[in-house]
Structure formats: structure tokens, C-alpha cells
């Protein structure tokens, strides 16, 4: 704190000013603002990261007043701080929203849940009518049994929301990934060995199950804070559930490519490949300028790749 005092005397600017003026918008700036607020000795600054979004503007005014900064001579500072604080509180609210979906179990008695599941089938198998709610056909899109509800236990409704978003908003890619996942993985083996393994569906992977697993990966990145780098770079203000779902779409596409590159012998190597992929994403997210931007055919948001 003594050093901060000296620097302020020398520069005529407080730490928040120096961060805003010396760092470009996005994660590089917002992460430093967030750290500065958390470590402040002033209760107002410490509590700023937990305010309601509707209170952000007033909170910025209070901070400017506390720091004796004239908003008329520093108009850009208030705008920059407000953008950072909206990202910070928005991320916190997104974690709460995602956690709520994850904790909500799939309920086959809930018409809304059933409608989403039926819609998922229609998006992925538009030319194949489902014979019944309980059907072995569900295995065609990568569920383990004849009733998908049991596969949603780990990630709750969050897994279904992500799969449906992928199928609806990047349909061409989702259908391609599904098609690829159903193909046996041709590896370097003799024809005799290949013939022996023809019956083994584990040579490919289960689309829906992998999608739920990648949902878990995206969730862990979010709650650990690792995803702040990406979301602070792509969301000009508050990160939303759509940003999270688009991130999932990017991750499942990248995992699909990574799976092919790794060339695992069979599905038994899934955990090894997933762990390696997770480490690679974490390494990418350590770069404060990183933005995991999905390649969408249809998107409601204009993502900014810094």
C-alpha cells in the first residue's frame, strides 16, 4: 500500500486509473480491476464486485467520489470502470445461473423437459421419426440406453440445454460431428483384425454422452474462474448463458478435432484424451488476450476476437 501511495503521488493517478489507462479493454483490464477491488482496504471497493447489476452505475459514482476523481475531467474512466464491473458481476451471476441448471434434474413428467428432448431428436434425426419415448433409437444420437433421462444425472438440465443449443444454432456442424462419431475409427491394423472389431461400437464415441462430458468440462472451467479470460474478451458487458453455450459449442468442436488428432485406439482412452484436451484449453486461457470464439453459422451475438 505504501508503494501504491508513492506511485499515486508520482503519477497523479490511483491504481484503478492506471489500470484503465494502461490496459486495453477485455480480460487484460478487467482481471486487474477485479484483483484491485478484491485487495482494497476500502469496504466500498471490496463489495463492488458483489453488487446487483442495476447498482453498478451508482457504485461507479461512489468509487469516483471516494477516489476524488472528477468525472467531468475523466469521462472515459467511468465508462471503462462500468464495463469492467458489469463483466465481473455478470460472470458471478452466470455461475449462479449455470449451477442452477446443473442442479435441476431431468424430469420426464415435466412437459418443458420432454419438449426439449423431443426437439433434440428432431434436430439431429430430422428424417427418422422416433418410434416411442422409450426407444433404442436414442443410441443413434449417442445416449447409452433407451431412455436418455438417466444420462442427464451428472449435469442435469445443463447438458440438455447445451446439446440442444448446439443442434439448433450450429446445426451443420452438429450433424457432421454426430455423423463422424458414429463411424468406426479406422486405425492401422490388418483387415483380419479390423473384421474382428467391426462389432465393437466403442471404436467411435457416443455423441450425446461426450456432449454431456464436455458440458462438465465447460462447467469446471467456468466455476474455477479459468473461463474469465475468454468471457471478458468476448462479452462487451455482462457474460450471459448464451456466451456459455457458444463456448460449449466451440469446445465440443475442438474436442472432436482433438480426438481425431490423438487417434485413440478405442473409447477406453477417452479419459486420457479428455484430460490432455482440458490441459491444452487451460494453457490457452492463461493468455489474457485469448478468446475461444466459436465458428457459428447462426449467432445472436457479435463476438469480438481480440
List the pLDDT tens digit at each of the 306 positions of the chain: 555 554 554 555 788 999 999 999 999 999 999 999 999 999 999 999 999 999 999 999 999 999 888 888 888 899 999 999 999 999 999 999 999 999 999 999 999 999 999 999 999 999 999 999 999 999 999 999 999 999 999 899 999 999 999 999 999 999 999 998 887 655 455 555 545 554 443 347 899 999 999 999 999 999 999 999 999 999 988 999 999 999 999 999 999 999 988 888 888 899 999 999 999 999 999 999 999 864 433 334 333 333
Residue 116, SS3 per DSSP: helix
Give the residue extent of every domain in the chain: 1-102, 105-303
pLDDT per position as a tens digit, 36-54: 999 999 999 999 999 999 9
pLDDT of residue 89: 97
Enumerate residues 6+ apart whose C-beta is below 8 A from 90: 53, 235, 237, 238, 239, 240
pLDDT per position as a tens digit, 251-280: 999 999 999 888 888 888 999 999 999 999
d(CA 281, CA 74): 38
What pTM was estimated for this model as a whole?
A: 0.86
pLDDT of residue 27: 95
d(CA 31, CA 134): 48
| DSSP structural state of residue 287 | S
Amino acid at each position: 500500500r505504501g508503494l501504491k501511495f508513492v506511485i499515486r503521488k508520482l503519477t497523479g493517478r490511483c491504481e484503478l486509473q492506471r489500470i484503465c489507462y494502461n490496459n486495453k479493454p477485455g480480460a487484460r483490464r478487467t482481471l486487474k480491476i477485479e484483483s484491485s477491488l478484491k485487495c482494497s482496504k476500502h469496504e466500498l471497493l471490496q463489495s463492488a464486485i458483489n453488487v446487483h447489476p442495476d447498482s453498478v452505475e451508482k457504485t461507479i459514482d461512489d468509487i469516483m467520489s471516494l477516489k476524488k476523481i472528477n468525472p467531468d475531467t475523466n469521462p472515459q474512466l467511468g465508462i471503462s470502470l462500468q464495463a469492467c464491473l458489469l463483466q465481473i458481476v455478470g460472470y458471478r451471476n452466470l455461475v449462479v445461473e449455470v449451477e442452477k441448471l446443473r442442479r435441476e434434474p431431468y424430469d420426464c413428467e415435466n412437459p418443458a423437459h420432454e419438449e426439449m428432448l423431443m426437439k433434440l431428436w428432431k434436430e439431429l434425426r430430422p428424417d427418422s421419426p422416433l418410434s416411442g419415448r422409450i426407444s433404442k433409437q436414442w443410441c443413434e444420437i449417442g445416449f447409452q440406453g433407451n431412455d436418455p433421462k438417466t444420462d442427464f444425472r451428472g449435469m442435469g438440465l445443463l447438458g440438455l440445454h447445451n446439446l440442444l443449443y448446439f443442434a439448433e444454432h450450429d446445426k451443420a456442424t452438429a450433424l457432421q460431428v454426430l455423423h463422424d462419431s458414429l463411424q468406426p475409427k479406422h486405425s492401422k491394423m490388418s483387415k483380419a483384425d479390423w473384421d474382428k472389431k467391426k462389432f465393437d461400437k466403442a471404436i467411435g464415441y457416443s455423441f450425446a454422452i461426450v456432449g454431456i462430458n464436455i458440458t462438465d468440462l465447460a462447467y469446471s472451467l467456468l466455476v474455477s474462474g479459468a473461463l474469465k479470460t475468454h468471457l471478458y474478451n468476448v462479452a462487451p458487458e455482462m457474460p450471459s448463458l448464451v456466451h456459455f453455450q457458444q463456448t460449449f459449442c466451440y469446445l465440443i468442436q475442438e474436442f472432436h478435432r482433438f480426438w481425431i488428432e490423438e487417434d485413440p485406439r478405442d473409447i477406453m482412452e477417452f479419459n486420457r484424451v479428455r484430460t490432455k484436451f482440458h490441459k491444452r484449453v487451460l494453457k490457452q486461457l492463461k493468455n489474457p488476450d485469448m478468446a475461444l470464439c466459436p465458428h457459428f453459422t447462426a449467432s445472436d451475438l457479435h463476438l469480438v476476437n481480440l
